[in-house]
Amino acid sequence: MTAHYDQAATKPQLLAVDDEASVLGLLAAQLEDEFEVTTAIGPEEGIRTFRTEGPFPIVLSDYDMPAMTGVDMLRAIEELDADSIRMMVTGHLDLQVAVDAVNQGHVFRFLTKPWELTELRSCVRAGLEQYYLVQSERDLRANLARRVDEQVREIASAHMGMIFALSRLAESRDPETGEHLLRIREYCRILADEMVRGHPDLVADPSRFVELVFSASPLHDIGKVGVPDSILLKPGRLEDVEMETMRTHAAIGAETLAEVDREHPGNDLVTMGREIALGHHERWNGTGYPQGLAGEDIPLSARIVAVADVWDALTSKRCYKDAIPPAEATDMIAEGRGTQFDPRIVDAFLARHADFLSVWRGIPDPE
């Protein structure tokens, strides 16, 4: 006898089903000192009782009953609760009945009529122990899964902390602010969410894609750590040669993350971060940099960040420019539909424009 059975707070419940009331009365009388016995006359009442009063850990059923056999009834009960331990009492146990009961009703034990009291109690107790064992294993798996999930969340949180710290390190040399990173990832979450809602076949795992875009988007300008201060911090317009140097930040960031991927392969976050770093200045019509990619050759994540990044740049004040009103910035994004930006992402931006404005108001740059 295991601790699960011994420590049961109340009598375990048992459902007995037979088409003879006298048999049910005998079963109840012989088991009621240890079990809370519920009886049902016939299979239809048995199924109805299990559905309305169950689930029952133990179901004890006759085989030969009107309307359906005990095997059919136990199969129906298994569909209601696969964990219930199903046992059969029969007056004529032959090979075919046993095969049907095991294969179709997944019967745990058989008893023949008339049964021995000690055998009856032994079988029912063994069934209850099996039930508690299954429940215990399920609880163990659930606790293990919960612990793994907690550890994954802790690791993910640590990764996000490192990514955001690394991204802010790049931003600390740039006139842009840490608030820029906070806004960018919120904008990207909005756009990614709208895209997968409007185009459910766009990615294999929509929720995971939205999460990754949100998490990886702060890495878009990490390559700016390799751009000289004289260019990065220049308050006025960049000369052509300086602009070429500035544009190297996309490739620098991508190579930095590629090196991380080589050392620690298989990290989806790093993979998407590299896509974004390399591709967020590409243009839908192929006139962007560094590779001159066009259309859907540009990774979806980078196309999303492109819209979010430009919107934030337009609506934010920098040392080399003033912010422009959101309405004007919205018009400029719309004008870039099909040339600078993926048309569908611009449509997603316009559909969720109110959400963009909420983020813009909610995460302002410091005065």
CATH of the domain at 99: 3.40.50.2300
pLDDT in tens, 45-92: 999 999 999 889 999 988 888 888 888 888 899 889 888 898 888 776
User: What's the whole-number average pLDDT of the chain?
Assistant: 84
Task: Establish if 167 belongs to a structural domain.
Answer: no
Is the domain of 194 the same as that of 138? no
Query: pLDDT at residue 287 above 80?
Result: yes
Question: Span 349-356, mean pLDDT?
Answer: 97
Is the domain of 199 the same as that of 336? yes
Query: pLDDT at residue 165 above 80?
Result: no
| Lowest-confidence segment of 144-153, 250-259, 260-269, 291-300 by average pLDDT | 144-153
Environment class of 35 (CB within 10 Å of its CB; exposed 0-12, middle 13-18, buried 19+)? buried
- CATH number of the domain residue 217 falls in: 1.10.3210.10
Tokens of residue 143, six digits: 């606790």
Is the domain of 119 the same as that of 263? no
Task: Establish if 159 belongs to a structural domain.
Answer: no
The number of domains in the chain is 2
Is the domain of 126 the same as that of 55? yes
Helices (H), 199-239: 206-216, 229-232
- Partners of 86 in beta bridges: 59
Bigger pLDDT: 7 vs 47? 47
Is the domain of 128 the same as that of 183? no
Q: How confident is the model at residue 7 (pLDDT cuts 50, 70, 90)?
A: very low
Note whether 236 and 264 are within 8 A (CB).
Answer: no
| Lowest-confidence segment of 14-18, 112-116, 261-265 by average pLDDT | 261-265
Task: Establish if 37 belongs to a structural domain.
Answer: yes
pLDDT in tens, 85-139: 988 887 766 656 666 655 555 788 888 878 888 888 988 998 898 888 888 878 8
Residue ranges making up the domain that contains 259: 172-362
Question: Span 285-309, mean pLDDT?
Answer: 97
Least Cα distance to 233 among 309, 313, 319, 166 occurs for 319
Task: Establish if 45 belongs to a structural domain.
Answer: yes
Is the domain of 118 the same as that of 222? no
- Is 309 strand, coil or helix? helix
pLDDT for position 167:
59
Is the domain of 343 the same as that of 203? yes
Is the domain of 23 the same as that of 121? yes
Is the domain of 15 the same as that of 100? yes
The pairing of strands 36-41 and 58-62 is unpaired
Bigger pLDDT: 106 vs 338? 338
Is the domain of 132 the same as that of 177? no
Question: Span 313-329, mean pLDDT?
Answer: 87
Task: Establish if 212 belongs to a structural domain.
Answer: yes
CB atoms within 10 A of CB 239: 11
Which positions ≥6 away from 266 have C-beta within 8 Å?
none
Is the domain of 90 the same as that of 238? no
Is the domain of 23 the same as that of 84? yes
Task: Establish if 110 belongs to a structural domain.
Answer: yes
Give the whole-number percent of the chain exceeding pLDDT 70: 84
Q: How confident is the model at residue 170 (pLDDT cuts 50, 70, 90)?
A: low
pLDDT for position 222:
83
Query: pLDDT at residue 162 above 50?
Result: yes
Task: Establish if 151 belongs to a structural domain.
Answer: no
Q: How confident is the model at residue 151 (pLDDT cuts 50, 70, 90)?
A: low
Helices (H), the chain: 3-6, 21-31, 43-53, 70-80, 95-104, 117-171, 178-198, 206-216, 229-232, 240-263, 268-279, 300-315, 326-335, 343-351, 353-362
Task: Establish if 305 belongs to a structural domain.
Answer: yes
Which positions ≥6 away from 1 have C-beta within 8 Å?
125, 129
Bigger pLDDT: 355 vs 100? 355
Q: How confident is the model at residue 3 (pLDDT cuts 50, 70, 90)?
A: very low
